Amino acid sequence: DIVMTQSPDSLAVSLGERATINCKSSQSVFSSSDSKNYLLWYQQKSGQPPSTLIYWASTRESGVPDRFSGNGSATNFTLTITSLQAEDVAVYYCQQYYTTPYTFGQGTKLEIK
């Protein structure tokens, strides 16, 4: 199985500042056949189901604010939230869908400092 490791486990950032979450996969999730990284980011607010933020490592889901961005390739990925808003408090997960079983990172809890 591909192991997904996120860092840090928790993060406190001031309102209006930048938050960066890292995700590392134990093997590449890049497909040379279609030049895509099979990596997703989800946001899960307290008491709610996850919602999809970014797919193909860097494509924002419809309706997601542009302060959310994803970058990276192969085994190293980042989710960046510029200008943190109060409503961004949540747990963030990365997930690889390159090969089954699809696997998730352990989650990063983002709070307001």
Partner 1 sequence: QLQLQESGPGLVKPSETLSLTCDVSGGSISPYYWTWIRQPPGKGLEWIGYIYYTGRTKYNPSLRSRVTFSVDTSKNQFSLQLTSVTAADTAVYYCARGGGGVDHWGQGTLVTVSS
Binding region for partner 1 (CB under 8 A): 38, 40, 42, 48-52, 55, 61, 93, 95, 97, 100-107
Which residues are registered as beta bridge partners of 25?
A: 4
Closest CB to partner 1 among residues 42, 81? 42
Nearer to partner 1, 32 or 100 (CB): 100
Please state the closest distance from residue 1 (CB atom) to partner 1, in A. Answer: 8
Report the distance separating Cα 56 and Cα 96, nearest Å: 10
Min dist CB 28 to partner 1, Å, is 16
Complex with partner 1: residue 15 or 65, whichever CB lies closer? 65
Q: Which residues lie below 8 Å from residue 83, measured CB to CB, with a gap of 6+?
A: 16, 17, 18, 67
The CB-of-62 to partner 1 minimum distance in angstroms stands at: 9
CA distance 37 to 68: 17
In angstroms, what is the minimal distance from the CB of 70 to partner 1?
A: 12
> Toward partner 1, which CB reaches closer, 17 or 65?
65
Q: Residue 113 burial (CB < 10 Å; 0-12/13-18/19+)?
A: exposed
State how far the Cα of 57 lies from the Cα of 65, in Å rounded to an integer. Answer: 16
